[in-house]
Chains A and B, each alone.
Chain A
Amino acid sequence: MIRSLHIAAKDLKAEFRTKQMLNSMVIFSLLVIVIFSVSFGDLLGNSKIVTQLAPGVLWISFTFAGMLGLSRSFAGELENGCLEGLKLCPVDRSAIYNGKTISNAVIMFLVEIITVPLFAVMFNYSINGLAGLAIVIILGTIGFISVGTLLSALTVNTRTRELLLPILLLPIIIPVIIPAVLATGKMLANGDISDISGELRLLAVYDIIFFIIAQLVFEYAIGD
């Protein structure tokens, strides 16, 4: 466990030194929101339509920005053969997975913290149920990132990894996106946390199931 944290710390240190991935993810995520709000145009005046569309826009921007980061997550380790160097260390394969999941999730949370205020401005929201929204975003992100990290490792040794990752990832995260969008919608419509207990439960179940599966299959995903 402690070594997962070392791996995550190593990733974050390298990332914050260049901020390459973080910057592109933030900009991409903001661009998605701007493009959507521009393309909706006059509809944004109609608050009823906005409440129905906006949660989807938010999660699309998270998903796409996240995919950008995930596609680099293990690809970055290929430079100088670092992934092999890591596999030569006496650590369990799952420690590599856990470390990567932690660093990916931290970066994703940062992107989300920057995106949400801009989203609120663009779609004329005053966010009230911030705690509830935070729980939804955290649970949704963990589910998305834990599957995404696994698939990032799975595709890293293929020729067409940038193409393959979204194709593999999107059908698998349907069960994250749907409850996350529903719950976000309810929270934005001044809902209470008790209104989204079903969604939260499903997200939690998803997180747990895929976290366990990842522990079991990760070694095969990064094997030579």
Chain B
Amino acid sequence: MSKKSNQNNLLSILTAVVMLIATYMIFFSLPIMRDESGEILDNSFNIFYFHLPIAITSYLAFFVVFVASILYLKKGTHNWDVLARSSAEVGSIFALLVLVTGSIWAKATWGWYWIWEPRLTTSLALFLVYLAYLLMRQAIEEPEKRARLSAVFGIIGFASVPLSFLSIRMWRTHHPLMFGSQGSGGGGLEGTSLQLTLLVNLIAFFLLFATILSYKVQNEKLQEIITEKKQALP
């Protein structure tokens, strides 16, 4: 256990350092953004450097749920279930943050908190699938059944997300876009310092995810030991 917590400590220190560098780069090292007409854009675009990495991490987290679910069904090893549920819980928070940062950005740019932009809407769908997954876990008491049934749902849910994206994109292109063609995408993200900032932020959020996940898994295991010890008491 102590070796494991040493690893966790190292990982969290590394995450903190990279996170600091990433945040510094966003606020202090980026050149001022100008649009086509040469006017200076306000700083609201900076949230993009949080938004995109968080979004990618939330998908990564669900991919971890997917893989862990398959492995649980194949191998039946309890640890895969611990990983799946830990990743789902951490991932759902990231998915929520995607919606929050997306909304803040939308408000600053267009004056609305919510836009039905395909990628943002897909994140909403992802978040709803996560919620359903976690609700399902709460609804089942028997540990073995809970692990098995939620693994099945983890697989179904993961498969539905890319299809959701395709259908939402189809839907949006059939409606007039209220805000012109400007999406949340990285159009115009040229220049190495911008790309570098994005990359460092991406790494920072991956590390953050890995750290939280690792602590979460450890917590879950400790909790199980406690439950077991409690049951052993008369």
B168 touching A178 by the CB < 8 A rule?
A: yes
Q: How far is the CB of A188 from chain B (nearest CB, A)?
A: 14
A168 touching B153 by the CB < 8 A rule?
A: yes
Residues of B contacting A164 in the complex (Cβ-Cβ under 8 angstroms)? 135-136, 139
Q: Does B73 contact A (CB under 8 A)?
A: yes
B160 touching A172 by the CB < 8 A rule?
A: yes
Q: Does B148 contact A (CB under 8 A)?
A: yes
A157 touching B139 by the CB < 8 A rule?
A: no
Question: Given A150-B156, A182-B171, are A171 and B166 neighbors across the interface (CB < 8 Å)?
Answer: no
Count of A interface residues, CB-CB < 8 Å: 34
Residues of B contacting A199 in the complex (Cβ-Cβ under 8 angstroms)? 170
Residues of B contacting A209 in the complex (Cβ-Cβ under 8 angstroms)? 159, 163
Contact mask A158-180 → B, CB, 8 Å, 1/0? 11100110011011101110110
Q: Does A206 contact B (CB under 8 A)?
A: yes
Within 8 A of B (CB), among A179-193: 179, 182
Question: Given A159-B139, A167-B132, A209-B163, are A179 and B170 neighbors across the interface (CB < 8 Å)?
Answer: yes
Count of B interface residues, CB-CB < 8 Å: 30
Q: Does A122 contact B (CB under 8 A)?
A: no
The answer for the CA separation of A176 and B174 in the assembled complex, in Å, is 16
Q: Which secondary structure dominates chain A's binding surface?
A: helix
B166 touching A202 by the CB < 8 A rule?
A: yes
Contact mask A139-156 → B, CB, 8 Å, 1/0? 000000001001100110
Binding site for A on B (CB under 8 A): 73, 125, 128-129, 131-132, 135-136, 139-141, 145, 148-149, 151-153, 155-157, 159-160, 163-164, 166-168, 170-171, 174
Residues of B contacting A117 in the complex (Cβ-Cβ under 8 angstroms)? none
Chain B's closest residue to A161 (CB) is B139
Chain A's closest residue to B168 (CB) is A178
Residues of B contacting A64 in the complex (Cβ-Cβ under 8 angstroms)? none
A220 touching B153 by the CB < 8 A rule?
A: no
Task: State which of A158, A205, A223 has its C-beta within 8 Å of the C-beta of B140.
Answer: A158
B149 touching A174 by the CB < 8 A rule?
A: no
Task: State which of B132, B152, B164 has its C-beta within 8 Å of the C-beta of A221.
Answer: B152
